[in-house]
Amino acid sequence: MFWLLNKIYQIFNPPQEVIDDKLKRKIEQQRAKNREEALNMVVETDPNYWDCECDENYIHKKSVTLFCSVCKMTEDECSDSRPNEIKLYYKGYKK
């Protein structure tokens, strides 16, 4: 009888290691899913503008300048700008 009660107790109260393993697997599955979603994200950019490394005034028009005199970065070393950020700098901007 004691054996049966002990088994029932173990079923409803698993050892902490079992809980930890299940939790670790669940966390790893969620992290893998998050990584996969991040890889599938598409960021829209405008090839006519580029972002330098400056904290302010970092959006440059490629037709005007390909070099930032403040941070010394060039257009080919930096990423293209995002349209939603360009709209904040250039009032008449339309993609």
pLDDT band at 91 (very low <50, low <70, confident <90, very high): confident
Which of the pair, 12 or 72, is modelled with greater confidence?
Answer: 72
Q: pLDDT tens digit string along 5-49? A: 666 666 666 666 666 777 788 878 888 887 887 777 788 899 999
**Is 81 or 21 the better-scoring residue by pLDDT?**
81
DSSP string, 35-86: HHHHHH-----EEEEEE-S-SSS-EEETTT-SB-TTT--BGGGSPEEPHHHH
